[in-house]
Structure 1
Amino acid sequence: MSNLAWKFNRLRTMGLPEIGYRIRQAVQTKAELFTVRPDHQSPSPDCSRVGNAWLNPLPRNMDSGLYRAAADRVLAGYYDVFTLHNVQLGFPPKWNRDPKTGTEAPLVFGKTLDYRDERLVGDIKYLWEPNRHLHLTTLAQAYHLSGDMRYAEGVQILLESWFDQCPYPFGVNWTSSLELAIRLVNWSFTWHLLGGEHSPLFISESGQQFKRRWLDSIYQHSHFIAGYLSRHSSANNHLFGELMGLLVAAITWPYWPESGRWQRQAYVELENEAIKQNAADGVNREQAVYYQHEVIDMMLICWIIGRANGIDFSQNFIARLERMLEFIASLMDVTGAVPMIGDADSALIVHWSKEHNWNVYRSQLATGAVLFNRPDFKVKAKYFDDKSCWLLGEDARHQFDLMASDENQSTLPREFRDGGYFILGSRLDTADEIRIVADAGPLGYLSIAAHGHADALSFTLSVAGHALLVDPGTYAFHTQKKWRDYFRGTSAHNTVRVDGVDQSESGGNFMWLRKANVQCENWESDQNRDCLIASHDGYARLPDPVIHRRKIEFLKNEGIIRVEDILECAKEHTIELNWHFAEMCEVRIESGTVQATVANVCMEMMMPDCDCQPELMRGEDEPPSGWVSRRFDEKVPAPTVTWRGKITGTTRRLTILRILAGYNT
């Protein structure tokens, strides 16, 4: 998509107040362009008042070998950046260079640099990731656990090089306030792990000069964020993250006259955004589960740092956080897996844990189990991980271990009507559970719905902890448009596509124009049967409007799922019904019946009322079909089954899924 076309579509998503705001912002940026200087001097800090660390004392009961090994790799110049594993970037690295493509972004005024232009910056996700400075926290953890000054000195070397290569406010690292905010959060934890004001790094005269240089950059970061917050249709998780960074910086370094104002502003807006961006039932309104995990982390960071410094968040804020964790717990199957609904970028706010096979969702539930005294969260979490210990302290591990838990009784909610998710199934949270997660929710949040996928009325299925039907994930963000469009499009989800177009109309990589409206028409659940009926109007925009209504009925005693799709229309249309299986599944088609096997679980799928024959695809490029992406920028072939055909007038299609093994009545 051309830059002009993107700007036109972006304009279509704005109301008049936002257009006025964007114009004022553009004028302000132009004015700054003519006045900004590379040698800009920040105000002198008054260090007489200091911020407290999030814990006192900071935890030490970890396997220091894990953290020293990770820190040694950083000192040797080796990094993991998404699909680049153990890549040599140097020590220090070239901060303005994309490690994936080798493109070096120009050192121009940051607010005027188009970071969406691959020709200028390469793959911006890869460039930004090392600049979030999660590895600085890793070095500081290793120093805190070992006392080895090599790790502390490594932090100084990296920061000094970053200040040299990324002068305020020039280059790609001064374009996005969210990136600055995440960097500030990692600097805050690094600061305290190094000893804060009393760090041995600051003892010498040169150390004092380094400290002042660091504080100057902290002020510049905070000033930039406060004047460049994501507003209007961009006020999603980006705004929340920016406010987090501003609050954390103002608490950690309350050294300037503006610090109190920044703290008050961030606190008030975080309170408001926690309620606006997250529904009362705990579903984040971006309709993207991994982003829900990131917002949970943002809220946790603000809460624990705030309370250590006498700043109490409201009960509304805290209760909403508990509901969000409850939603994650309800989605999670018996193996700890969570459906990959909506966008996911594999990013972390802080890389706390170095444990093998660490699970981001179980970790959050372990933290939540202690914070909210929730034994049901403990059952899901299984164990108290290092990240939870870093956040809450060593006493929290003891609290977790003492907490009683009943693994034979699940009392978690299964209906999330505000967010639009429903969990059908039997024997949930036991070794032979059947779990269906159905999506009857909106496309996403605000007018651009940036991180939502066109997945209305889709569902996932796992049996005995083995994934059968999946949401294939995200794979691509700013680059690789074909794959970005596919993975967030309707054909990549277990639902019906009509006339070869998506339910909602895309206007760009993070923008939807016309959006499908979804309505839950009925939800019933008892000991024998779960049933959801919902519809959407995404195809009402076609010349001959189509309404898609789906009934998902699970008969618990028989292990049968009946999916009835009704397409209400007057004329002829082409429809396709896609079913995406996990990459571990063996799938074959015999006499029009689909048979899928994974481990000891077998399932058959049939459409008894349809004359068309199913097609089996795996790893197709043109057009894309048959892929699963479990991590950003990684995809693997996986079986996809598609029924295609033409309909004329209102038509009903019945799909029957029968679980044959791995299920005990």
Structure 2
Amino acid sequence: MPSPAETAVTPGRIWRTLRHYRLRQLAYYLYRRRIQPLMTSRIRSPSLSGRRPGVAMRPRPYAGQPADGDEAVTFLNVTRPFGRGGVVEWHPADASRLWRYNLHYFDYLGDDTRSVAARDRLIDTWITANPPGTADAWEPYTASLRIINWIDYILRTEPTRPAPEPWLASLGQQAAWLAANLEHHIGANHLLKNAVAMTAAGAFFAGEDAERWLDVGLRLVTAQAAQQFLADGGHYERSPMYHAIAVQDLIDILNLLQSSGLCSGRRELAALTAVARDGLGFLAAIRHPDGEIPLFNDAAFKIAPSPAALIDYGQGVLGPDACPARPDGGVRLIDKPATGYFGHSGDGDFLLMDCGAVGPDDQPGHGHCDTLSFELSVDGRRLIVDSGVSGYEADPLRRYVRSTAAHNTVAVDGHEQSEIWSTFRIGRRARPLTASIAREPDGTVRIEGAHDGYRHLPGRVVHRRTIRCEPEARRWIIEDRLEGRGLVTAESFLHVHPDLTVTRRRPILVAEAAGRTVLTITPSGGDEVRLDDGHFYCPEFGRVLANPVVVQRVRASLPCRFGWTLEAPVTSA
């Protein structure tokens, strides 16, 4: 886990962080934080002339936990009542800030196990309890999700009763607030969400401001999609969870505009459709055999819709050919060079290695020290796992999940690959040097990557990793090479799924499930191998599971080599 010295705020660390930001981004940050304090910005009354006729939307997938009645809600694996005595508590002081944000997102309007009357009451009480500028409730990202969710809910439930006028007035006011408070200083998925919400509000309403929101919002969505989605279809923050969220954002706005017959002649729709299709294809390619996402960087299950739900939604909006089915049988290469994801998949076995950048230079906040880390599934079961993420509080667990030791990669002399600090900050970043995948004539898949995250150390250390995947033999050979000069101490980590037990049977280690061997682990080149405790697997927000971690320690003069051989039982035909 990073030490206090490694996470302290110093002038050098601030410089190494800010030097990557765009001048325009820094100017917006100064404006938003100093010149236009968020909670005191005024909102003018928008120039609207009611609802736009003919607005419609296909049903959207709901990713939240279905309610057990109308009086409570679950976010981040924490269930709380909405309030007491019929009064909704919109700002519970004992809840985390992220939990409170979720309360104000209103995603739960998509949960049709709740009664319409109960959901209507939540909107009514929110309007009364949260005047413009209220903390948490009126953050631009929070408002963006709420705008989309309210529009979706109004369109889905209008057959039961017309939308009350106070709802429409509040929705217009929220859109006007958002249009004046776009998160250019944060950018990335926040700005994309802002743009989608502004476009949706412009499509929903009629009037002078609505036309401006629709035009400016659609152009901003298109520009951000072009910037944020890479040539291989991956999202540039390199978090599979935020990739799925961003893909849904694009499908949502295409859904609304196409269903409403709006903007059909604009080139932006064709551009967004192409990006959304590529994004769906990327998501389909990188999912594990269990159907879920890898947990690289800030990623967890049950925040975005599952890949299957999102692909089904995308095919409904974009057409049945929006995401071609994966071919049956055989070993498929996963070759995503722009994102830096390489691996193979087939017959229930899956390996994916992260050889990419930690994130975009101007917004790496969701990045972890996971360069050259990998995940492995065998027979549809996750065996070697990424630590995931449990929350965004500034606590030791947040520091841990971002650290090098929380990933299946190598730490040198106790240093982090990238200079993580604060909750979302990174100073010095590990840069990919090489990344490639190839299938050899004998069917072996060879993945290679390297990074310079330790080049600032006295020995100018470079970490190179090669994974030789032998699918027929169900064998994966990991070779790590440290180049540079001098004497170093390195540690290589293997995080095993918490459902498995690991025992030592020298010279190997055996991972078992219910007494059955599922993986053997053979270290090579190291001085010491140990089973570590104090590590955690966080597959969902608010869910923290202790898991076994195998650590190989190497004390050697550079250059040096060490590694692992992982083998799964070969099933008879």
TM-score, normalised to structure 2's length?
0.89
Q: Given the alignment, which residue of 392, 405, 414 partners 1:477?
A: 392
Q: Given the alignment, which residue of 508, 521, 534 partners 2:422?
A: 508
What residue is the counterpart of 2:57 in the other structure? 54
2:15 is the alignment partner of 1:19: no
RMSD (CA atoms): 3.0
Rounded to whole Å, the distance in 2 between the matches of 1:465 and 1:71 is: 30
Q: Is the 2:110–2:153 Cα contact (8 Å) retained in structure 1?
A: yes
Residue identity opposite 2:122 in structure 1 = L
Q: Given the alignment, which residue of 336, 350, 355 partners 1:440?
A: 355
What residue is the counterpart of 1:184 in the other structure? 147
What residue is the counterpart of 1:338 in the other structure? 293
User: What do the CA deviations read for 1:148-196 (whole angstroms, capped 9, x no partner)?
Assistant: xxx444334222211221111233312x21110100111001111221x
Q: Given the alignment, which residue of 590, 602, 607 partners 2:523?
A: 607
Residue identity opposite 1:315 in structure 2 = A
Q: Given the alignment, which residue of 320, 344, 357 partners 2:275?
A: 320
Q: Is the 1:278–1:284 Cα contact (8 Å) retained in structure 2?
A: yes
What residue is the counterpart of 1:373 in the other structure? 320
User: Shift in Å at residue 2 of structure 1?
Assistant: 8.1
2:45 is the alignment partner of 1:42: yes
What residue is the counterpart of 1:107 in the other structure? none
Q: Is the 2:289–2:377 Cα contact (8 Å) retained in structure 1?
A: no
Greater RCO between the two (CA within 8 Å, min separation 6)? 2
Alignment of 1:256-655 (within 5 A): 256-309=207-260, 310-312=262-264, 313-344=268-299, 348=303, 360-370=306-316, 371-374=318-321, 377=324, 407-408=328-329, 414-424=334-344, 428=346, 430=347, 433-480=348-395, 482-526=396-440, 528-598=443-513, 602-610=518-526, 612-618=527-533, 620=534, 625=535, 627-655=536-564
Q: Is the 1:152–1:201 Cα contact (8 Å) retained in structure 2?
A: no
Q: Is the 2:247–2:280 Cα contact (8 Å) retained in structure 1?
A: yes
Rounded to whole Å, the distance in 1 between the matches of 2:294 and 2:571 is: 21
Rounded to whole Å, the distance in 1 between the matches of 2:120 and 2:349 is: 52
What residue is the counterpart of 1:239 in the other structure? 191
Q: Is the 1:178–1:241 Cα contact (8 Å) retained in structure 2?
A: yes
Q: Given the alignment, which residue of 159, 164, 172 partners 2:123?
A: 159
User: What do the CA deviations read for 1:114-134 (whole angstroms, capped 9, x no partner)?
Assistant: xxxxxxxxx210111111112
Unaligned 5+ segments in structure 1 are 103-122, 144-150, 203-210, 350-358, 380-405
Rounded to whole Å, the distance in 2 between the matches of 1:30 and 1:532 is: 49
Rounded to whole Å, the distance in 2 between the matches of 1:26 and 1:413 is: 46
Rounded to whole Å, the distance in 2 between the matches of 1:414 and 1:70 is: 34
Structure 1 window deviating more from structure 2 (524-533 vs 544-553): it is: 524-533
What residue is the counterpart of 1:200 in the other structure? 161
Q: Is the 1:184–1:249 Cα contact (8 Å) retained in structure 2?
A: yes
What residue is the counterpart of 1:80 in the other structure? 74
Q: Is the 1:550–1:564 Cα contact (8 Å) retained in structure 2?
A: yes
2:133 is the alignment partner of 1:169: yes
User: Shift in Å at residue 238 of structure 1?
Assistant: 0.5
Residue identity opposite 2:507 in structure 1 = G
> SS at the partner of 1:220?
helix
User: Shift in Å at residue 553 of structure 1?
Assistant: 0.7
What residue is the counterpart of 1:400 in the other structure? none
Residue identity opposite 2:430 in structure 1 = A
Residue identity opposite 1:491 in structure 2 = A
What residue is the counterpart of 1:148 in the other structure? none
User: What do the CA deviations read for 1:312-370 (whole angstroms, capped 9, x no partner)?
Assistant: 44333212211211122112233313321111365657xxxxxxxxx711111223445
Rounded to whole Å, the distance in 1 between the matches of 2:178 and 2:38 is: 17
User: What do the CA deviations read for 1:391-436 (whole angstroms, capped 9, x no partner)?
Assistant: xxxxxxxxxxxxxxx64467x66211111011135xx0x3xx3211
Q: Is the 2:280–2:323 Cα contact (8 Å) retained in structure 1?
A: no
Structure 1 window deviating more from structure 2 (88-97 vs 10-19): it is: 10-19
Structure 1 window deviating more from structure 2 (5-14 vs 161-170): it is: 5-14
Distance verdict in 2 for CA 1:523–1:512, change over 3 Å: same
Rounded to whole Å, the distance in 1 between the matches of 2:323 and 2:329 is: 10
Rounded to whole Å, the distance in 2 between the matches of 1:516 and 1:436 is: 22
Distance verdict in 2 for CA 1:126–1:491, change over 3 Å: same
> SS at the partner of 2:36?
helix
Rounded to whole Å, the distance in 2 between the matches of 1:345 and 1:335 is: 14
Higher helix share: 1
Distance verdict in 2 for CA 1:81–1:296, change over 3 Å: same
Percent of pairs with identical residues = 21
What residue is the counterpart of 2:97 in the other structure? 124
Q: Is the 2:525–2:554 Cα contact (8 Å) retained in structure 1?
A: no
User: What do the CA deviations read for 1:27-70 (whole angstroms, capped 9, x no partner)?
Assistant: 5415984x84xxx7735742264351114xx79xx9xxxx9x95
User: Shift in Å at residue 486 of structure 1?
Assistant: 1.0
Residue identity opposite 1:163 in structure 2 = I
Rounded to whole Å, the distance in 1 between the matches of 2:51 and 2:127 is: 25
Distance verdict in 2 for CA 1:82–1:31, change over 3 Å: closer
Number of residues of Structure 1 aligned to a counterpart in Structure 2: 556
Residue identity opposite 1:220 in structure 2 = Q
